[in-house]
Amino acid sequence: MTWQRGIDGFDPHQAEALSREGAVREYRYASRGRRLGTGTLACPRCDAPVVPGAPIAPSDALGCPFCLHTGAVRDFLSLAVPTRPARVVVRVVERVRPARR
């Protein structure tokens, strides 16, 4: 196979050299969790959707922004089918404990 420089001045050898110098690198980190399923996170009292700001544990405290009902996350979580539009992904994550000295 031969390469021929066209009118636009494209040189495949130069493009390859440039792509190696200023290469974009993608880092993927291994996940220590597995997907358990998809559920709905909504207030058990008024059924308003609740959006967490960060990953949360089932035992963490959570409050409804509409009726101000509070409780544990597990009280707000429903894994029943069908899930409503306020869907969340439920993952089981292994906690990494610090090494003992």
| pLDDT winner (highest mean) among 2-16, 26-40, 59-73 | 59-73
Domains of the chain, by residue range, sit at 33-93
Q: What is the pTM of this model?
A: 0.56
35, 37, 43, 46 alpha-carbon torsion, rounded to 10°: 160
pLDDT digits (tens, 9 = 90+) for 19-56: 555 566 666 656 556 877 888 899 999 989 998 888 88
45 dihedral zone (left: phi>0; alpha: psi -120 to 50; beta): alpha
